[in-house]
Amino acid sequence: MFSLKTVITTSLIALTVAGTTLATTSQAEARNRFLPGLAAGFIGGALVADALQPRHYAPPVYRPVYRPYIVVNNYPVCHVVWRQDAWGDMYRARVCR
């Protein structure tokens, strides 16, 4: 009837509203409570992230194992580069390995 995500979202909203009404005080109190709030955020985030993950696991995919095909290239690999002669003129030269 209800999905797990809907129940969790609704309960988090209800807890947030209830927590803000209970935590609100009539007097302004300034306290340095950064680390407990950070720890509570990490713990709450981990709980929510764990609850929202799907619980079904896909079966492993087995693929056939092939031996690598070694390519032997007996042809020279060539490319064109720019060179400069003694007088400063540029010319193209083909360089092969």
Which tens digits make up the pLDDT trace of 40-85? 888 888 778 777 766 677 777 777 777 777 777 777 889 999 999 9
Q: Residue 86 pLDDT more than 80?
A: yes
pLDDT above 70: residue 23 = no
Q: In the beta sheet, which residues pair with residue 84?
A: 90
Per-residue pLDDT at 30 exceeds 80: no
State mean pLDDT over 4-24.
75
Burial readout 56-93 (b: 16 or more C-beta within 10 A, e: otherwise): eeeeeeeeeeeeeeeeeeeeeeeeeeeeeeeeeeeeee
Q: What is the pLDDT of residue 28?
A: 61
Percent of the chain with pLDDT over 90: 16
